[in-house]
Amino acid sequence: MSIQALYSAATGMSAMETKLDVIANNLANVQTTAFKQSRVNFEDLLYRNETLPGALDSSQQRTSTGVAIGTGTKVESTQMNLSQGNLTATGNALDVAIQGPGFFQVQDPSGNLYYTRAGNFALNPDGKLCVGSASIGRLVNPQSPITIPQGATNIQISPEGLVTYLPANSGSSNAATQAGQITLALFMNPQGLLQMGENLYGETESSGTPQLANPAQQGRGTLVQNNLEASNADPVQSLIDLITTQRSFEFNSQMINAGDQILQLVANLRRSQ
């Protein structure tokens, strides 16, 4: 066994370690609202071509194959699975799930824009709709914030994103007051969004610029009030992947141990000659 074989096995261990990290993150976020699980894509490394396909043999005939020795593997990319998560009824009027494509646009106090599918919303002290976070107040729909006054009742969010309420002390026969319109963002390449943590995604050159429109328009999904989108992480499949990845890691580790023993044996033999 050559040094190259040890190097190839080491690249396998490194790649499997990355996959284990991704699987662990998927499993850790099984209960995270609107979480999208990721997968790891691999690619083989450069080859040492000792004989090229189509080389001339001794009778000047072209060979059908060659001799190529690979040098291992590496992580090509991690890729999000953007499939729809199951909807979970919560009974909270400010919980909103997206059924279909699209992202809510939110803004933090410093003015940065982010995107999320987690619709666990709340009202800030000014009555504006914001992300239900204990760490930082991010406004939903920052271009046209949704404001609901104190004491309002019967808050309704339509599938098309129209938000209405009944003012305080109004009778049930009074017409509902419009609080605003929730819009959804679409991206040319949502796989290119930057995963920020805190259920947030950031725009990148790869994702393209956000295109905002009302839900149910131009390919966007609809909104489902009193519901949240669950994580699409599959714990059963993740555990299967975990087992197979651990085995691959162990096989590469055993390859390194065996190769090291062979190299030591060869070295001892050479010293004894």
The DSSP-derived string for 206-252 is TT---EEE-TTSTT--EEEETEEEPP---HHHHHHHHHHHHHHHHHH
Of 48, 54, 43, the closest CA to residue 11 belongs to: 43
- Tens-digit pLDDT profile for the chain (273 aa)? 567 778 888 899 999 999 999 999 999 999 999 999 999 999 999 988 888 888 887 888 888 888 888 889 999 999 999 999 999 999 999 999 999 999 999 999 999 999 999 999 999 999 999 998 888 889 999 999 999 999 899 999 999 999 999 988 776 656 789 999 999 999 999 999 999 999 999 999 999 999 999 999 999 999 999 999 999 999 999 999 999 999 999 988 888 877 666 667 666 666 776
R_g of the chain, CA atoms, integer Å: 28
Tokens of residue 75, six digits: 């992580």
Please, are residues 222 and 160 in contact by the beta-carbon 8 Å criterion? yes
- How many other C-beta atoms are found inside a 10 Å radius of the C-beta of residue 24? 12
The model's pTM is 0.86
Q: Where are the domains of the chain?
A: 3-82+234-272, 87-229
